[in-house]
């Protein structure tokens, strides 16, 4: 027997439900409104905007910067200003003064040392400590002085580095390389007839050689200028017996003059 209501019975039942206030259809099975769904629907995330690609910062070449700065100097005053403005050598951070030069710029003889020490850093002049005092006595013995006013009697003195290294340590290769263009320009502007290299560091910088005890007394050339390596006066203070060889080097310079 078919128990499903006919059309008219179903219509009467629907009308009765409407009169009771029913306003929505109900399924055959009850629904638990408090139950969680089997899988939480994932929220749709908006697409992230693409991260802009930043250009890497420009690489600074300290040596190239030094070459450009040195080339821009047309006088010794210009060169000193360019060196003072050069920001890539960290030695400047711990130094009191830039030690540029001392003596007579037009002198026939240019002396190049290593770097300022404590006394030089304090006064802003090269070779003013004990080693500098011995240097003055050595060259006075052959008639040369930084205080002279005549080119054939004068001395012009500078260093490879214009700033004092911490604890007077030996300059490293990077420091020498970045300051070498300034030194080469310094030689060009001073235009001496002879150069004296005091110690290992200036020999390494300008001759590309080290071993001052082997090099001393042997004439070479720097930028086509006759050049004489000599032991540093600080070494002579520690090894007085080496003064005899230093005197022979001074006589060799005097003979050239």
Q: Which domain holds residue 159?
A: 62-256
How much is the pLDDT for 248? 97
Structural domain includes residue 69: yes
Strand (E) or helix (H) holding 112: strand 109-113
Structural domain includes residue 193: yes
Which residues make Cβ contacts (< 8 Å) with residue 199, sequence separation at least 6? 113, 114, 212, 230, 231, 232, 234, 235
Domain count for the chain, please give it: 1
Structural domain includes residue 144: yes
Structural domain includes residue 17: no
Structural domain includes residue 122: yes
CATH, residue 76: 3.40.470.10
How large a percentage of the chain has pLDDT more than 70?
88
On whether the CB atoms of residues 127 and 99 are closer than 8 A, the answer is no
Q: Which residue has the tokens 């070449």?
A: 61
User: What mean pLDDT is predicted for residues 123-147?
Assistant: 97
Whole-prediction pTM: 0.77
- The answer, yes or no, to whether residue 164 has pLDDT greater than 60, is yes
Distances (CA, A) of 67 to 8, 11, 90, 181, 237: 107, 103, 17, 5, 36
- The answer, yes or no, to whether residue 102 has pLDDT greater than 70, is yes
- The answer, yes or no, to whether residue 251 has pLDDT greater than 90, is yes
How much is the pLDDT for 7? 76
- The answer, yes or no, to whether residue 31 has pLDDT greater than 90, is no
User: What mean pLDDT is predicted for residues 113-139?
Assistant: 97
Structural domain includes residue 15: no
On whether the CB atoms of residues 204 and 113 are closer than 8 A, the answer is no
Structural domain includes residue 161: yes
Give the start-end residues of each E strand in 114-223: 155-159, 194-198, 220-222
Q: Which residue has the tokens 């200003």?
A: 81
How much is the pLDDT for 18? 76
Structural domain includes residue 68: yes
Task: Please tell me the distance from the alpha carbon of residue 243 to that of residue 5, in angstroms, as a whole number.
Answer: 133
From 9-13, 90-94, 224-228, the region with the lowest mean pLDDT: 9-13
């Amino acid at each position: 027997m078919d128990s499903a209501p006919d059309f008219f019975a179903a219509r009467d039942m629907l009308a009765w439900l409407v009169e009771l206030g029913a306003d929505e259809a109900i399924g055959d099975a009850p629904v638990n409104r408090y139950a969680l769904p089997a899988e939480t629907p994932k929220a749709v995330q908006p697409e992230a905007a693409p991260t802009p690609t930043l250009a890497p910062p420009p690489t600074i070449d300290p040596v190239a910067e030094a070459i450009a700065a040195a080339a821009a100097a047309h006088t010794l005053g210009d060169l000193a200003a360019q060196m003072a403005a050069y920001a890539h050598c960290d030695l400047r951070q711990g130094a009191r003064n830039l030690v540029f030069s001392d003596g007579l710029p037009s002198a026939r003889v240019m002396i190049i040392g290593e770097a300022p020490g404590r006394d030089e850093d304090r006064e802003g002049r090269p070779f003013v400590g004990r080693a500098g005092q011995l240097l003055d006595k050595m060259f006075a013995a052959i008639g040369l002085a930084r205080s002279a006013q005549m080119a054939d009697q004068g001395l012009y003195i500078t260093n490879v580095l214009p700033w004092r290294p911490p604890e007077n340590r030996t300059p490293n290769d990077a420091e020498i390389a970045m300051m070498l263009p300034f030194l080469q320009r310094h030689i060009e502007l001073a235009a001496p007839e002879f150069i004296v290299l005091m110690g290992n560091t200036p020999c390494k910088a300008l001759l590309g050689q080290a071993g001052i005890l082997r090099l001393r007394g042997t004439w070479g050339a720097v930028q086509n200028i006759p050049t004489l390596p000599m032991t540093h006066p600080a070494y002579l203070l520690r090894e007085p017996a080496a003064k005899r060889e230093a005197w022979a080097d001074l006589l060799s310079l005097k003979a050239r003059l």
